[in-house]
Amino acid sequence: MKNRVFINELKPNIGKKVTVGGWVHNIRDQGKLNFVLLRDRTGIVQIVTDDTTVRSNDLRNETVIFATGTVIEDERAENGIEIRLEAVEVLSRPVKPLPILVNDKADYQKLELETILNNRVLSLRNPRRNKIFKLQASIIDCFRTFFREKGFTEITTPKIIATGTEGGTQLFTVDYFDKLAFLAQSPQFYKQMLVGAGYERVFEVGHVYRAEEHNTSRHLNEYVSLDYEMGFIDDENDVMDMEEEFIKYLFEEINRRHGDILTTYGQNLPIPEKIPRIPVKESCEILEKEYNKVTKGYDLDPEGEKLICDWAKKNYNTELLFLTEYPKNKRPVYTMPLETNPDFTRSFDLLFRGLEITTGGQRIHDYNMLVEAFKSRRLNVEDFNYYLDTFAYGMPPHGGLAIGLERITQQILGLSNIREASIFPRDRNRLTP
């Protein structure tokens, strides 16, 4: 293996001969001189060579090469350095015409999303698109780091399951030998069971599946969920407190690590001092009073979410808002009801820039209450004994939440469609690539 130097390591090597490797990003013909832009996973560097070198090696966009030359300072070049080429080794050439341009910023704006996704690997070579998933990787890293430091244990739960966690709807079926199984909607039951197993605090980064017929800019049928569950809470406010602390940590880290990516996407990410919390019933009253929007059943539609976030921005100077106390009929069976009004629950959503990115709340921990909740939804208790038995042997008060990874990525970068925030999205019509 050659002693390769990455592009972001070139500045300390000014005056030295180095070998860099990557893809030809662009070639600019200046007559006797050519400028070859070379791209690796750390950046782009300008390489100066003569026309003979380009022609004799048949260099074209996306050709994979090793290039050897001397690093020279030049304030006209990107990052103030360039390489004077001495030798080139071609590793691989494109054998088909490029269906999309990788290096054209204007082309990125013109391309239809379907064209981008149909050519996903090639489209991700574009530095702008490539940065989405470097930022997303940092979100996952921050999630793991934060919750480990808070005493949470990382878990991995089954994705092939016997029953749905939120009832029998929105489930993908699986032929499991001689039985019918399902793809997991959520790790919810297993998170709770492991709280009851004595871990007390658990978290997971994992795929979940929703067999919903929607085809919108905010939904996927397979997505990554950032989940945590915590025991010995007083109520749902403890869960919200934990998320609020995480969001502050996450935004600080994104600003520190990826200010360049935020700039590329024209985004600012202010650190919230405090995330306001208002009951969803109150939010509906605000929408009717301030925006003449009537909401049925205390459940906000996408327009309502955007409007209430606009209201929060004006009144609290924040882009984040907790909506609390959702109606019982809008929440899963295991959600803890409010003692003062059992038709409402100790649950919440977190909205960010007009989109719900989190759903959570306190769970029922009393065995008898939970059994009655299942019966009230006309669910067969026998089908859920593997879950309910955990509560029969002593369970602390607990709660948790799930953050949609693609949604929070979408909102941080201001992407217009959630599919842009999924490397290989799965929706109603897409199973490839």
- Using left for φ > 0, alpha for ψ between -120 and 50, and beta otherwise, residue 389 falls in alpha
Fold of 127-421: BirA Bifunctional Protein; domain 2 (3.30.930)
Contact between 208 and 221 under an 8 Å Cβ cutoff? The reply is no
- Place 399 in a pLDDT band, splitting at 50, 70 and 90: very high
Tokens of 246: 């995480």
- pLDDT score at 294: 92
* pLDDT tens column, 337-379: 999 999 999 999 999 999 999 999 999 999 999 999 999 999 9
- pLDDT score at 215: 84
**Residue ranges of the domains in the chain?**
7-92, 127-421
* pLDDT tens column, 142-170: 999 999 999 999 999 999 998 877 655 68
- pLDDT score at 31: 79
Q: Which amino acid is at 336?
A: M
Instruction: Spell out the SS3 assignment of 194-222.
Output: HHHHHHCEEEEEEEEECCCCCCCCCCCCE
DSSP, res 112: -
Percent of the chain with pLDDT over 70: 97
Exposure b/e, 356-375, CB count within 10 A at least 16 = b: bbbbbbbbbbebeebbebbe
Percent of the chain with pLDDT over 90: 89
- pLDDT score at 106: 58
- Place 10 in a pLDDT band, splitting at 50, 70 and 90: very high
DSSP, res 271: P
Question: What CATH superfamily classification does 7-92 receive?
Answer: Nucleic acid-binding proteins (2.40.50.140)
Q: Give the position of tokens 């800019």.
A: 217
* pLDDT tens column, 266-304: 999 999 999 999 999 999 999 999 999 998 889 899 999
Mean pLDDT of 82-109: 88
> Does 244 score more than 80 pLDDT?
yes
Contact between 334 and 186 under an 8 Å Cβ cutoff? The reply is no
Phi, psi of 66, rounded to the nearest 5 degrees: -100, 135
Q: Identify the weakest region by mean pLDDT among 101-110, 128-137, 153-162, 306-315.
A: 101-110
Q: Helices 236-264 and 405-413 sit at what angle, rounded to 10 degrees?
A: 50
- pLDDT score at 21: 98
How far apart CA 253 and CA 430 sit, in angstroms, is: 33
Q: Give the position of tokens 């290039």.
A: 67
- pLDDT score at 160: 96
Helix, strand, coil tally for the chain in percent (to 5): 35, 30, 35
- Place 213 in a pLDDT band, splitting at 50, 70 and 90: confident
* pTM metric for this prediction: 0.95
Task: Enumerate the β-bridge partners of residue 360.
Answer: 348, 401
Q: Mean of the per-residue pLDDT values for the chain?
A: 94
Residues 6+ apart with CB under 8 A from 393: 196
Instruction: Determine the number of helices (DSSP H) and then strands (DSSP E) in the chain.
Output: 12, 16
Mean pLDDT of 247-256: 98
- Whether a cis peptide bond, with omega within 30° of 0, leads into 12 is no
- pLDDT score at 248: 98
- pLDDT score at 1: 62
Contact between 191 and 229 under an 8 Å Cβ cutoff? The reply is yes
- pLDDT score at 77: 81
Contact between 54 and 93 under an 8 Å Cβ cutoff? The reply is no
Q: Give the position of tokens 């929440």.
A: 331
- pLDDT score at 163: 83
- pLDDT score at 105: 67
Mean pLDDT of 13-24: 97
Of 198, 169, 197, nearest to 185 (Cα)?
A: 169
How far apart CA 397 and CA 336 sit, in angstroms, is: 10
Mean pLDDT of 226-251: 98
- pLDDT score at 32: 84
> Does 381 score more than 80 pLDDT?
yes
Strand, coil or helix: 99: coil
| Greater pLDDT, 163 or 82 | 82
